[in-house]
Chain A
Amino acid sequence: GAVVSQHPSWVICKSGTSVKIECRSLDFQATTMFWYRQFPKQSLMLMATSNEGSKATYEQGVEKDKFLINHASLTLSTLTVTSAHPEDSSFYICSAKRPGTGKETQYFGPGTRLLVL
């Protein structure tokens, strides 16, 4: 299979603190990972594309200094929500594209629920 994990699965933090979320591809190497956020009863909204060894590509309206992405290895991408505020509370989901399949199928992590008090 293609397994993607995320850590932590949920986090509660105080306003103004920073939170780091890890996304790992467990059984394959992923040169490209994606970060999404999802509000209750809404669809997934792409935040950024994370490429191993290079800078992330952010979608319009996503602050790169607010949401720091690091893709330091072929199996790990991290998303850091800096100076988190209550409006950053959301469900953050990462995905990874499995290479060599000839398709753009993405496999998703289980998500991280962030609650900022």
Chain B
Amino acid sequence: GESVGLHLPTLSVQEGDNSIINCAYSNSASDYFIWYKQESGKGPQFIIDIRSNMDKRQGQRVTVLLNKTVKHLSLQIAATQPGDSAVYFCAENINQAGTALIFGKGTTLSVSS
């Protein structure tokens, strides 16, 4: 079964608000995590990644937080825009060459103007 899951299937926010999307993973051996954004009818798009030796990583308007103690991962989107509306997946990997990613169930983010 899946070892990565998400707390909420949907999240609705107003434009300009900050969004927080959560993900729980169960495989303590996982040491690399990625957030992907998937718009309707398209393939997943890389947003940000983090290794297990880090607690936080920032990108442009996005921040990923990793709490290895409770096996929790979150994606924070600042000043959410309508274009951020999509399904967001967290994915984990045990950093071995050639191994695939394991995806969580996804959170649908809806941003209203």
A residues whose Cβ falls under 8 Å from a Cβ of B: 4, 6, 31-32, 34, 42-46, 49, 51, 91, 93, 95, 97, 103-111, 113
B residues whose Cβ falls under 8 Å from a Cβ of A: 2, 32, 34, 36, 41-46, 49, 51, 89, 93, 95-106
In the complex, the number of residue pairs spanning A and B with C-beta atoms less than 8 Å apart equals 63
Q: Can you list 12 contacts pairing A with B, beta carbon distance less than 8 Å?
A: A43-B104, A43-B106, A44-B44, A45-B103, A46-B100, A46-B101, A49-B99, A49-B100, A103-B49, A103-B95, A105-B34, A106-B34
Q: Which of B41, B46, B93, B97 contacts A107 (CB 8 A)?
A: B46
A104: which B residues are within 8 A, CB to CB?
Answer: 32, 93, 95-97, 99, 101
Chain A proximity of B2: nearest CB distance (Å): 7
Once the chains bind, are B44 and A103 in contact (CB under 8 Å)? no
Chain A proximity of B4: nearest CB distance (Å): 9
Main DSSP-derived SS at the A contact region? strand
